[in-house]
Amino acid sequence: MRFARYAPILALLVVIATAFAFRLDRHLTLDAVRDNRALLVAFVQSHGPLSGVVFVAVYAAIVALSLPGSTIMTLTGGFLFGVPFGVTLSVVGATLGATLLFVIARSALGDMLFERAGPTLSRTAKGFRKDAFSYLLFLRLVPAFPFWAVNLAASALGMRLKSYVAATSIGVIPSAIIYAAFGAGLAKIFDASGEVRLEELLSPSMIGALVGLGLLALLPVALRRDRASQP
């Protein structure tokens, strides 16, 4: 029974190791999008709605396998589908992939962690769960925390699935809009043979805006604690 509980996470780790062993992440670059531009556009034009389903499935797999390609996928979504539809597909794909990883990790790692948890970790987990939605929304909004690490931390600390899905889907929307909007203009950049550096996509003002949204997400926590501290 114990092996059955850990089987999903072990299987996921094997798939992740295989993906990195075969360097699948090297295909998740803007150069790859540029080099396969005609093929990608033709696929979308030929398959219509099915291409959107395929995009979501690939996006979800990349997130679930913790491959460094979610930003490229969101850019590609804007490039292939335009901003509104590209954002929608990217948010759905990111949420599905993150949820899959969350459920698998919680089924194994969460129990194992709490079996060995000391009082400090137990208090941390309890405090996190009390305001889990706000905390996770902050972590999703601020582009400074690895997506996969946040997924694992939320599962290990016992966050409820419903709150996790809601905070994830809402939290990835702002950055998805930014990247998809940039992706919608990639055709002109490709035609001009221009180079795109991912680190240049988020300007300091854009980062400041996302941090500001993240702090707003923590406002209910601050107000609640302020009221609790008052006599």
The model's confidence at residue 2, banded by pLDDT at 50, 70 and 90, is low
Q: Please tell me which residue, 114 or 126, carries the higher pLDDT value.
A: 126
Whole-number pLDDT of residue 50: 95
C-alpha 140/C-alpha 213 separation (Å) is 10
Whole-number pLDDT of residue 62: 92
By CB atoms closer than 10 A (0-12, 13-18, 19+), residue 19 is middle
Q: What percent of the chain has pLDDT over 90?
A: 32
* Number of neighbours of residue 130 by Cβ within 10 angstroms: 12
Q: Residues 53-92: pLDDT tens digits?
A: 999 999 999 999 888 889 899 999 999 999 999 999 999 9
Q: What pTM value is reported for the model?
A: 0.84
Whole-number pLDDT of residue 111: 55
